[in-house]
Amino acid sequence: MFDNLSDRLGKIFEGLRGRGALNEKDVAAALREVRRALIEADVSLEVVRGFVEQVRERAVGHEVTRSVTPGQQVVKIVHDELVAVLGEEAVPISLNAAAPVGILMVGLQGSGKTTTTAKIAKRLKEKQNKKVLLASLDTRRPAAMEQLKVLGEQVGVSTLQIVTTETPVQIARRAQREGKLGGYDVVIFDTAGRTHIDEELMAETAEIKAEVNPHEVLLVADSLTGQDAVNLARSFDQRVDVTGIVLTRVDGDGRGGAALSMRAATGKPIKLIGVGEKMDALEDFHPGRVADRILGMGDIVSLVEKARENVSAEDAQKMAKKLKKGAFDLEDLRTQLLQMKKMGGMGGLMNLMPGMGQMKKAMAGANIDEKVFDRQVAIINSMTKKERANPDLLNASRRKRIAAGSGLQVSDVNKLMKQHRQMADMMKKVSKGGMGSLAGMFGG
């Protein structure tokens, strides 16, 4: 997600940043590009219009300070506006109410509602030690009730016994009673969805809401939703006053527009994102970091955090330091390759890396798969310590020796060297020049 947007904005700002002075025409041209990039990322037209207008107003009225170029200022304004639209801080699910705390899940059919319900239950149980009860109110699709039951069993969370003759409101009432009597901390209500918004769905959802008076109303929405995102979010928000949004399939090739659109249309925080089908593929949404990521600054914090889960704190710190310093030798590449393998391959990690767009393309050219990891590590293993620390030493005869040592071709060694150079350049760009130097200016 966000790759294209990030790429596009990166290029626009690349052009702007070099300039010493900017006139209104430059700003207007850049904003036209920003507008186009947002539309291509599937941000709704209405939101794009508001966004660009906001940036223009702030850009025109902006004091010119000596310390930064006008181009940098525009970048900063766009960044700030992105943060304003996405929100500054991650907003967790609130359980700050009398037990059992009710969470109502709403959204269209197929959005990932049932899956997300089970994911949230698992998280509350494991991370917050909560006793959770799940109830499916989807009386039209017995299969949906069954699905929740199966997922509940899978994550070790109770589900309300299925009674097929009850109405959704009756089930909701029974779930609440059971929640109280059974000493549950949280009851999550999984409502029925439709393939599109209709009055009947809204009326039913509103009726359920009135019955259970939930503490949280979470709208589950597919991040692949395009121009419909605003309409969808607004419709639900107007009828059932959502308290937060969960974006699913963020692991897919959504272009990121839905996140901006929904948040802008409702002002409600995106609380969580679904990043896969597995029950633990649920993450907090960090708006500030996403804004950074959209602008191509990478997400070093997430990268380090992710690494920390898999790698010792010490290693993670070392890596972060190296990234920041822009010093990146072959030993580091080897460490990274091994860590990447541990962390489930390239895809996940790439999204967190600075300059990921270009990087992904560079890597796609190298056709990375798990076996390639092993081969690359083998190549580096065949190098001496000195060679690893100083890749410039690797002349033709050394490369030949290394190829023979790792049982591969010289062309494989060359490929690896090229890849290393690309990565090192990217890191350097991010940490010294490029967007990296702007990070400080943003206070981030």
List interacting residues with ligand GDP (CB under 6 A): 107, 109-115, 193, 248-249, 251-252, 274-277, 281
Burial letters for 32-42: b for 16+ Cβ neighbours within 10 Å, e otherwise? Answer: ebbbebbbebb
Cβ 154 to ligand GDP, closest distance in Å? 12
Residue 110 or 433: which CB sits closer to ligand GDP? Answer: 110
Give min distance, CB of 55 to ligand GDP, in A: 31
> Residue 157 or residue 427: which is nearer to ligand GDP going by CB?
157
| Sequence-distant (≥ 6) Cβ neighbours of residue 115 within 8 angstroms | 151, 248, 274, 277
Burial of 253 (0-12, 13-18, 19+ CB in 10 A): exposed
CB of 113 or CB of 420, closer to ligand GDP: 113
CB of 222 to ligand GDP, least distance (A): 8
CB of 108 to ligand GDP, least distance (A): 7
Asked if 222 contacts 111 with a C-beta cutoff of 8 angstroms, the reply is yes
d(CA 221, CA 206): 18
Pick the closer one to ligand GDP by CB: 114 or 243: 114
CB of 413 to ligand GDP, least distance (A): 37
The residue (of 137 and 377) whose beta carbon lies closer to ligand GDP is 137
Minimum distance from residue 401 beta carbon to ligand GDP (Å): 45
Beta-ladder partners of 188: 103, 134
Number of C-beta neighbours around residue 195 at 10 A: 9
Region label for 367, one of left (φ > 0), alpha (ψ between -120 and 50) or beta (otherwise): left
Residue number with CB closer to ligand GDP (218 or 368): 218
Q: Which is nearer to ligand GDP, 230 or 282 (CB)?
A: 282
> Three-state DSSP class for 407?
coil
Nearer to ligand GDP, 113 or 415 (CB): 113
Q: How far is the CB of 436 from ligand GDP (least distance, A)?
A: 31
Distance between first and last Cα of the chain: 22
CB closer to ligand GDP, 249 vs 271: 249
Question: In whole angstroms, what is the distance from residue 136 CA to residue 164 CA?
Answer: 11
Query: In 172-252, at which residue ranges do the beta strands (DSSP E only) sit?
Result: 186-190, 216-222, 244-248
Q: From the CB of 119, what's the least distance to ligand GDP, in Å?
A: 8
| CA angle centred on 440, ends 438 and 442, rounded to 5° | 75
By beta-carbon proximity to ligand GDP, the closer residue of 111 and 422 is 111
CB of 276 to ligand GDP, least distance (A): 5
Q: Which helix (H) or strand (E) covers residue 104, if one does?
A: strand 101-107
**Helices (H), ranges, 241-369:** 257-266, 287-294, 300-310, 313-325, 330-342, 346-350, 356-366
DSSP β-bridge partners for residue 217: 104
Tokens of 140: 């039209």
Q: 187 forms bridges with which residues in the sheet?
A: 102, 133
- Report the residue count for the chain: 444
**342 Cβ contact list (under 8 Å, min separation 6):** 310, 311
Binding positions for GTP: 107-114, 190-194, 248-251
Q: Which residues make up each annotated binding site?
A: 107-114, 190-194, 248-251
The residue with tokens 């223009």 is 56
Query: Considering the complex, what minimum distance in angstroms separates the CB of residue 184 from ligand GDP?
Result: 22
* ∠ CA 367-370-373, rounded to 5°: 80
